[in-house]
Structure 1
Amino acid sequence: MADHVVKVLNELIETSKNGEKGFAKAAEDTKNTELKALFESRSRDCASGAAELQAIVRQLGGDPATGGSVAGAMHRGWTELKSTVTGRSDTAILEECERGEDHAKEKYTDALKGDLTPEVRAVVERQYQGVLRNHDQIRELRNRFKAQQ
């Protein structure tokens, strides 16, 4: 079971690292100070979540993932290419962040369907609730910015 839990947690670590890098990139790209502060905060939250999961993997005797996934890097690359072609509006940045949070929701939902110890499940569930709050906040901001266009 420990090997299975380590695998699940490493996938969530990669997801969190993708979120950390994605939000950091969004903070770089926005000119809006409210969004910049939000994205920087979310990037730190993702880094903290990854660190918490890495510690659990170590406690279980596993080797924790240290970076994001190839898919996350490809998403950031696509976002970068798209921004050079279309311009990087705050609405577009928020749409990309929402897409990333959709992916995180899916990964955490899948993890919670699996066989986790009660202690690990509690951590994953708490982090999942944060992902849901992030997603909803990003969606609301995207809707607000879209309505202002």
Structure 2
Amino acid sequence: MENTNTVSTLNDLLNITNDRIKGFDKVEDKVWDTYSSLRSDYDQMVSESQTMKSDLISLIREKGGEPDDTSTTAGALHRTWIDIKNSFGGDNAESTLENVAFGEKAAIEAYESALNDGTLCPQSTSVVSEQLSKLRSSYSKFTNLEKSVD
């Protein structure tokens, strides 16, 4: 039963990580003209997301589970909303930064919930805690930049 709960929680985090990767795909080329200095941070976050995904898939398989390599419905709805909003208001760097910060905050909340619900084994808790730290760092970078735009 423990493995089943752990696998379920890890799959939820894998779905959130896939949302993050798809969300970062939406950032491509929208802020670099204005914020070219962010490009290396962005590339690092994309790379970290791919590593996080691989680590989660490995943990799921180690626990005897099958990775659910999809994204969430909420994430898909959010990305659709972004597309609709941008089609009416035009793409702009400030809106893009707000959307990144929103997505990072949602991911942080999901990771915190996973760590607090008691379903993760010690090894998984360690990996998820490390990933949460990276999410918080990313969130901080984008919210600080977002504040400097105001």
How many residue pairs are counted as aligned between the two chains? 146
| Highest RCO, 1 vs 2 (Cα 8 Å, sep ≥ 6) | 2
Q: Residue 147 of structure 2 aligns to which amino acid in structure 1?
A: N
1:1-149 correspondence to structure 2 within 5 Å: 1-32=2-33, 33-115=36-118, 116-146=120-150
State TM-score, norm by structure 1: 0.92
Q: CA RMSD in A?
A: 1.3
Give the whole-Å Cα distance in 2 for the aligned partners of 1:140 and 1:60. 38
Give the whole-Å Cα distance in 2 for the aligned partners of 1:70 and 1:44. 23
Shift of residue 28 of structure 1?
Answer: 3.4
Structure 2 gaps of 5+ residues are none
Moved >4 Å (runs of 4+): none
Cα deviation, 1:27-84, whole Å, max 9, x if unaligned, reads 2323432334433332221121011101100011101121211211111111011011
Give the whole-Å Cα distance in 1 for the aligned partners of 2:38 and 2:72. 25
State TM-score, norm by structure 2: 0.91
- Seq. identity, %: 25
